[in-house]
Structure 1
């Protein structure tokens, strides 16, 4: 990242510590503009209070001996990528016990004494470790969450010594979890490639193949909040990478997806992953597939833990609309850029809606 700071521009506030201190009013740094608050309503932007379900895909159907069932499942995935940018998958091949263990060890980590977690405190240089903010702009508005960020792929970036050693099972569970969700990402990438009319390995190869594709895990901890109507756990953004596999906390809903002018609260399905399209697939597909704004609300009565596994292009690979998807009627919509340069935006500015990918649009 250009002009990268070696440390944060101001003292870090651990949100969990704030929550547990018994405060009744959140500090002004966490109070969002009225238009950005979860309770804000007007004719052009409002929150629908009822929970909704984004498309639910049973991946077992792709193994059916009935061709019509396979075709219909592929069609539903394609429509979800084009219209929603989000879908949930069940029967995905990842052990339910492993999913529960992954959530469990991270919940235990966040309930360790602060001095233990502080041993892994992160900096803006790599963001790897225990953190409480995105963006390095001094005085910026903050989100009501703490997190742990780590690299999984490519292997030269993976350093398990930077992963928590408490609880005891954490490193082992993280390694097993990473291995299984990478397999699922590879499978989904093939499905998306085929639905775009490309060879099944197209996206995999364009994003760097076996040696360069990146993957990282961000574990989000959203503490109880005394004024959840004034703040967000994570501000509106679209994910900068390829795709994201989210393992949500099923005890309380928190993810909201923008649908037109509405913010829609997603109801997690037990033992499902929430899949969302990232900006790089929107660029490479020439906007046939959509990365969609989403955000996270917080709760006054319950904390939440979620695991976001980001499957990304290699950092130095130039990403641009696929030649096969550029036509006279649909010219290339985006300028080429590397993922390292692209993600520097969010690491500098923090979550910023869709402004990041919009900045890549080709001049007409």
Structure 2
């Protein structure tokens, strides 16, 4: 059950803790009272925008996406063009992976140097509070990082389905990037070019949140904003878990069947000079149900220094961020793990 692989402490799989029948969670998973979720009720009556991509012209889509990125940083898309059968198959096949015997999953145990593989923690600081969740992380782009041998061999068609699913999501990301760019008053391809054109990065993190005997004391994933460019999230449609910070409220997202939840990452906040904002979010766990989510991260070219797009810098709105590559930026995350919006705030200039 334990595997170090360069981690500062023995790795305990949360799924093993859950399946052990324990009625109390270890102290390491208990969050400070101020960080604990409000499980009894949706702490806000607000809801994130829902955008029907089949019913819109390019201009209408750009307007709707831009408004959601400015006001919320999050939105759901329906009728997005990805086949519902593929969406459901991808969910089921990854659920199948987490149901495999532990020794089969342990073959893919990850390390802090790449995160690729089967994991149970993010930051590498010793003694920090842990989250109630396991995950599998893999690279899709660039092709030099993609290695099927590091993807699970079981269930048998997992690699093929994940490939097909990733291709569809890359197409969706391209459409949304164009809408975001037009919504900023830029040429349709400007934001994509700032990402590195065709030399973007993409990766998939499949999160597994087992049943938790004391869900009111912990989180599946601590509050954070996503470090990359844009995230396309697929969640179980029957189990609520994702919460988004809106001012002083935490808004619990009501998932829609076969929809994707999209959100702005820190790199798009930087490129847009904070016109579009990445937003803190966190994940609640559940005593009665396990929960699976699939987060597809669409990221800029890793070694490209990013700073606000020059057309978005004006005398009234000077550049808010100093240049930094995504590679340099995510090193910050790897050391500390998820910590609100402290990462992107650390990039701000002194102006």
TM-score by length of 2: 0.97
CA distance in structure 2 between the aligned counterparts of 1:168 and 1:53, rounded to whole angstroms? 38
Structure 2 gaps of 5+ residues are: none
Correspondence 1:164 to 2:152:
yes
Report Cα offsets for 1:57-97 as digits up to 9, x if no partner. 0111234xxxxxx6444322211100100000011111100
1:53 matched residue in structure 2:
47
Could you say what secondary structure the match of 2:207 adopts? strand
CA distance in structure 2 between the aligned counterparts of 1:60 and 1:363, rounded to whole angstroms? 44
Report Cα offsets for 1:170-217 as digits up to 9, x if no partner. 01100100111001001110110111111111111111111x200000
CA distance in structure 1 between the aligned counterparts of 2:43 and 2:49, rounded to whole angstroms? 19
Report Cα offsets for 1:282-317 as digits up to 9, x if no partner. 000000001000000000000000000000011100
Q: What pairs up with 1:134-173 in 2 under 5 angstroms?
A: 134-173=122-161
CA distance in structure 1 between the aligned counterparts of 2:42 and 2:249, rounded to whole angstroms? 6
Could you say what secondary structure the match of 1:362 adopts? coil
Structure 1 gaps of 5+ residues are: 42-46, 64-69
Could you say what secondary structure the match of 1:270 adopts? coil
Deviation at 1:147, TM superposition (A): 0.1
TM-score by length of 1: 0.93
1:67 matched residue in structure 2:
none
Could you say what secondary structure the match of 1:106 adopts? helix
Correspondence 1:305 to 2:292:
yes
Q: 1:363 to 1:40 in 2, by over 3 A?
A: farther
Could you say what secondary structure the match of 1:165 adopts? coil
Could you say what secondary structure the match of 1:215 adopts? strand
CA contact (8 A) 1:6 1:125 kept: no
Deviation at 1:51, TM superposition (A): 6.7
CA distance in structure 2 between the aligned counterparts of 1:40 and 1:307, rounded to whole angstroms? 22
Q: 1:121 to 1:299 in 2, by over 3 A?
A: same
CA contact (8 A) 2:5 2:109 kept: no
Deviation at 1:246, TM superposition (A): 0.1
2:325 matched residue in structure 1:
338
CA contact (8 A) 1:238 1:353 kept: yes
Could you say what secondary structure the match of 1:363 adopts? coil
Q: What pairs up with 1:80-159 in 2 under 5 angstroms?
A: 80-159=68-147
2:246 matched residue in structure 1:
259
CA contact (8 A) 1:52 1:266 kept: no
Report Cα offsets for 1:326-348 as digits up to 9, x if no partner. 00000000111000000111111
1:44 matched residue in structure 2:
none
Report Cα offsets for 1:98-148 as digits up to 9, x if no partner. 000110011010010000000000000100000000000000100000000
Could you say what secondary structure the match of 2:208 adopts? strand
Number of matched pairs: 348
> How large is the RMSD of aligned CA atoms in angstroms?
1.5
Following TM superposition, the consecutive aligned residue runs of length 4 or more in structure 1 with deviations greater than 2 angstroms are 47-53, 70-76
CA distance in structure 2 between the aligned counterparts of 1:101 and 1:71, rounded to whole angstroms? 32
Could you say what secondary structure the match of 1:276 adopts? strand
2:222 matched residue in structure 1:
235
CA distance in structure 2 between the aligned counterparts of 1:93 and 1:243, rounded to whole angstroms? 18
